[in-house]
Structure 1
Amino acid sequence: MIILFHPRATKPRNCRLPLAILALAAVLEGREEYEIIDGNLDDKPVDSILSFIDSRKVDLVGVSCMPGPQMVAAMEASREIRRLRPHIKIVWGGYFPSIYPDSTLNAKYVDFVVRGQGEETLLELIDALRGKRSFDSILGLSYKDTFGLHRTNAERPMKGPDSFPWSPFHRLPVEQYLRPSFFGKRTAVHHASIGCPFNCSFCGVHAAYGREERMESPERTVDILKHLVSKYGADSVQFYDMNFFLREDHARKLMDLMMPLNLRWWCEGRVDIMSRYSDETMATIKGAGCAMIFFGAESGSDWALKEMQKGITTEQTLIMARRTRQFGIIPEFSFVVGNPKDPERDTRETLRFIRKIKRINPDSEIIVQHYTPTPQRGSMYGDVDGQISFPDTPAEWATKKWMDFTLRIDTSAPWMKRKTKKLIDNFEIVVGSRWPTVQDIRAPRWSRTVLKTLSAWRYALRIYSFPIELQWAHQFIQLRKPKRESL
């Protein structure tokens, strides 16, 4: 038996379908006996895993995790399983171990790391555990040899979603994952592609998956959505693709097929790509149910965007602010502020730029984060000239210092002056109060009125310092912050 474990990453009321685990389950279906344990639904996942270990012959426990709270949950569970059942092999996969494979293998309770796309690597690892092949022949695998030394095999070429079977939704209580959101009463999630062809220097996606994006065929995407609608009653969907609109011809075909489903949905796009789309295509996107698009605007400084290798311009962001307003789609613009080359200048210019976006399209949702690099391929330091030395173990990543770094609460960036960081934080609370997010469906109307009233004078006069009254109000109201729930 194979156990697929999805450690707890969020509150049960916010949980969504564990797509990474479902993708692995799809290739095991009909071939291996397996069980899925989701820590977002199971309050005692370790007990559940131990119960299967004691009642069945378990070959492997596969753990999928993202950085942050889920990594901590993965660490604690894996450590306990190793302590109580030391003979069980444990493999980690997902975003965190793909970026930090050596740090992950430094943990005594991790035997293998699957880097990047894991479906075929998992199947070959199972064969190797049964003596049918050697570990050094498995692409995308890192492991400890008989002497405890780390071995890292070559990368595995990525395949598109169409190369693998559908997720076995019947193996999970799907209804429990279709939660209310701004987009509908029963919101599903879906990944219609994998990877990203761009090379943003602060991002870890290409470090984990390389610089390719493989897209699912529009027909398959719509067939899966139809299944979620007819079988489970989904009325909305969030697409987790890094670039949902990579090609206009693909987008038009998909929109035409999606239109009869009457779904409201959210996705991510790029301003450089979508600024070139025709008005006809934009109207079709809106007509197919698109309610909100997330854009990584990143900076209000063209020089900073060039430093990031982002491949976009500030003018393209402004174009999409105008076009989304024209077509009635809410844009969600994310900024990573405080570029290491000149954080003070980047901060000043970006805050001015955000105000410009708000003048063009007041409905724009603004997400402000500190510039937080991740290691890139061939480098342990991202693009910050060795100013950050990342932790060597999951346990160190779990400390408050590095959890704050991961969650962008306080990166303690050596290039960032305290007053600059404070300006970013204060601006974030002022702009977030002046235009409270529409995505918190639990917040009463009066709470938004209070925040708007308290912050109006500060925003108008550009007085961001010491927003004590807003900090107090947010503690009392506890309005949802999109960037926290998107991690």
Structure 2
Amino acid sequence: MKKILKIVLMQPNFQLLGKRSWKLIPYGLCLLKSCCNDEFDVTVYDPNFDNESVDEIKRYLLKLKPDVVGLTSFSTEYIDEIYYHVRFIKEIMPNVKIVLGGVLPTVWIEKVIECKDIDYFVLGEGEITFKKLLQGIATSNDRIIEKIMGVSFHKNNHNIINERPNFIDNLDAIPFPDYSDLDFNKYGNYKHKFSHTLISRKTPYALSVTSRGCPMQCTFCAASTVSGKKVRLRSAKNVLDEIELLRNIYGIKEIIFLDDHFLFDRQRAFDIMHGIMERYPDMTWKCVNVAVFSLDRALLSKMMESGCNQITLSIESGDSDVLKHLIKKPVNLVKAKQIAHMAKGMGFEVISNFVIGTPGETWVQIRNTIKYAEELNIDMCNFHIATPLPKTELMKICIDHGLLKSEEDVAGYTVGAINTPDFTGLELQILRAFEWDRINFITLNKVHKIAKLQGIKEDEVNEWRKQTRRNLGNTHLTMKK
């Protein structure tokens, strides 16, 4: 007899151990609810938004008495937070089944499967796999569970890691996220700080993912491991229908696309923008990341005309040899500079991301990146220290060359973990913090602009700069919200 399971899909409170966290609606969990709600009693729970205490989380779970708690993880940075939640959930509900999905098990299953308090792990996309797992749990049929691709678990003191299934090709077949358990307007009207990509010009805003996968092979990035090398696209009609639903139910006035490669299909991008202009002429939108090599004047003009107000260019390096041989990203630096100047002249807010400290990079090449960023003369430049992540080429290079002993040696996302004959991690932190300060705040006008971009007041800008210099850019120390 199949049991109707009670499921809690939970975004952990990533702030419990003192780290930074973003107050974002749990988009992926709401997708899972839509996929599973026809067979199971599914509730989405987000203690992260209101920074709920351990006691508050315990009380909520004890009140609902779920059969299964599904935890999401969107970064390897929060592995300790995941373990912390698992421990206290099992303390109060020893018989509950805990399932971990998201980035952590997808890129680092051999590490997280060591946690015996987690019953099941879902690798890769969960819309189909998680539902199959719930069906197996509901029928108490271990044989079914053992055969599900993308599910890992413990059996007889052994770790069983099943092969991942193929990626979902037809993204239009996935239902839209179900936000009914959440106060959508609380998220849509939230004023983020220190994160220009998430600060909307209009509220309420919504998030959307219109494609999955990235064909680029950047050495520092795990996107192809998480979502595949092939770009899979939702149709323009499907995207516009989601926007219409969000407009009708929640009255959204802006949408932020979280895609790795929103502009991959040029015609689709034009169709989406034309639809926004035709249906919602008062609406604004933006992408968290834009491939600079996809842009030209025609595309920028249509983006501006359809309500896009900001572009973030991931140029990554100001040295062509580093781009070609070390980062492996096909960026033409001459064209990138032209695009940045063109966009700024058209009225876009223009931001760019750069990565310094890739093994093999010389100090001169790092300085070339700083010089190039300064010459761009855009609204803001962000500098990131190359951070080796599990299942990236950068991690393999670091281990193969003895720069790191294992995947567990990375200290954090804003701390230099690599020392080479050309630089130390400390040197990178010092350079990053002080050049970020010098380039971005060189005039009072730029100070005003960045205050607007980051959703903060000018006195907060001054304190942010001071703490960034003194803590050498460690965001856990400088960006307490």
TM-score range relative to shorter protein: 0.7 to 0.9
Q: Is contact 2:122–2:130 with CA below 8 Å preserved after alignment?
A: yes
Q: Identify the range of structure 1 (253-262 vs 179-188) with the bigger mean alpha-carbon deviation.
A: 179-188
> 2 CA distance for matches of 1:150 and 1:390?
22
Q: 1:161 aligns with which of 159, 165, 171?
A: 171
The percentage of aligned residue pairs carrying the same residue is 20
Q: 1:280 aligns with which of 284, 298, 314?
A: 298
> 2 CA distance for matches of 1:238 and 1:470?
27
Q: What is the aligned partner in structure 2 of residue 388 from structure 1?
A: 404
Over residues 24-60 of structure 1, what are the superposed CA-to-partner deviations in whole Å (9 max), with x where a residue is unaligned? 1110122210111102235547556655765666332
Counterpart mapping for 1:191-270 below 5 A: 191-259=209-277, 260-261=279-280, 262-267=282-287, 268-270=289-291
Distance 1:474 1:305, change over 3 A: closer
> 2 CA distance for matches of 1:153 and 1:412?
31
User: Unaligned regions of 5+ residues in structure 1, if any?
Assistant: 393-400, 452-468
1:67 maps to a residue whose letter is: S
Q: Identify the range of structure 1 (90-99 vs 311-320) with the bigger mean alpha-carbon deviation.
A: 311-320
Partner SS for 1:100: helix
Counterpart mapping for 1:31-70 below 5 A: 31-41=39-49, 43-44=51-52, 50=58, 54=62, 58-67=66-75, 70=78
Aligned-pair CA distance for 1:233: 2.5
> 1 CA distance for matches of 2:460 and 2:159?
56
2:290 maps to a residue whose letter is: G
1:334 maps to a residue whose letter is: N
> 2 CA distance for matches of 1:407 and 1:65?
16
Partner SS for 2:359: coil
Over residues 234-293 of structure 1, what are the superposed CA-to-partner deviations in whole Å (9 max), with x where a residue is unaligned? 22222111111112111110000011422222202101122xx4x333211111111111
> 1 CA distance for matches of 2:127 and 2:467?
47
Alignment of 1:15 onto 2:23? yes
Q: What is the aligned partner in structure 1 of residue 413 from structure 2?
A: 407
Distance 1:210 1:428, change over 3 A: same
Q: Is contact 1:300–1:352 with CA below 8 Å preserved after alignment?
A: yes
Aligned-pair CA distance for 1:74: 2.5
Q: What is the aligned partner in structure 1 of residue 343 from structure 2?
A: 324
> 2 CA distance for matches of 1:107 and 1:13?
23
> 2 CA distance for matches of 1:128 and 1:472?
51
Distance 1:154 1:170, change over 3 A: closer
Q: 1:148 aligns with which of 152, 155, 158?
A: 158
Q: 2:123 aligns with which of 72, 92, 115?
A: 115
> 2 CA distance for matches of 1:35 and 1:46?
19
Q: Is contact 1:112–1:141 with CA below 8 Å preserved after alignment?
A: yes
> 2 CA distance for matches of 1:340 and 1:16?
33
Aligned-pair CA distance for 1:159: 3.2
Over residues 434-463 of structure 1, what are the superposed CA-to-partner deviations in whole Å (9 max), with x where a residue is unaligned? 23423223314x766x79xxxxxxxxxxxx
Q: Identify the range of structure 1 (133-142 vs 73-82) with the bigger mean alpha-carbon deviation.
A: 133-142
> 1 CA distance for matches of 2:180 and 2:247?
14
Distance 1:318 1:235, change over 3 A: same
1:471 maps to a residue whose letter is: K
> 1 CA distance for matches of 2:467 and 2:62?
51
> 2 CA distance for matches of 1:45 and 1:162?
38
Distance 1:59 1:232, change over 3 A: same
1:423 maps to a residue whose letter is: L
Distance 1:54 1:374, change over 3 A: closer
Q: Is contact 1:299–1:336 with CA below 8 Å preserved after alignment?
A: yes
Q: What is the aligned partner in structure 2 of residue 439 from structure 1?
A: 453
> 2 CA distance for matches of 1:92 and 1:74?
9
Q: What is the aligned partner in structure 1 of residue 3 from structure 2?
A: none
Over residues 366-409 of structure 1, what are the superposed CA-to-partner deviations in whole Å (9 max), with x where a residue is unaligned? 111111122336x79343353224456xxxxxxxx85xx4332x
Aligned-pair CA distance for 1:302: 1.1
Distance 1:241 1:233, change over 3 A: same
With normalisation by structure 1, the TM-score equals 0.82
Partner SS for 2:337: helix
Partner SS for 2:218: coil
Residue-pair matches, total: 443
Q: What is the aligned partner in structure 2 of residue 352 from structure 1?
A: 371
Partner SS for 1:333: strand
Q: 1:3 aligns with which of 8, 11, 36?
A: 8
1:264 maps to a residue whose letter is: T
User: Unaligned regions of 5+ residues in structure 2, if any?
Assistant: 1-5, 192-198
1:233 maps to a residue whose letter is: G
Q: Is contact 1:183–1:237 with CA below 8 Å preserved after alignment?
A: no
Q: What is the aligned partner in structure 2 of residue 454 from structure 1?
A: none
Aligned-pair CA distance for 1:229: 2.4
Q: What is the aligned partner in structure 2 of residue 371 from structure 1?
A: 386
> 1 CA distance for matches of 2:155 and 2:344?
57
Q: Is contact 1:2–1:33 with CA below 8 Å preserved after alignment?
A: yes
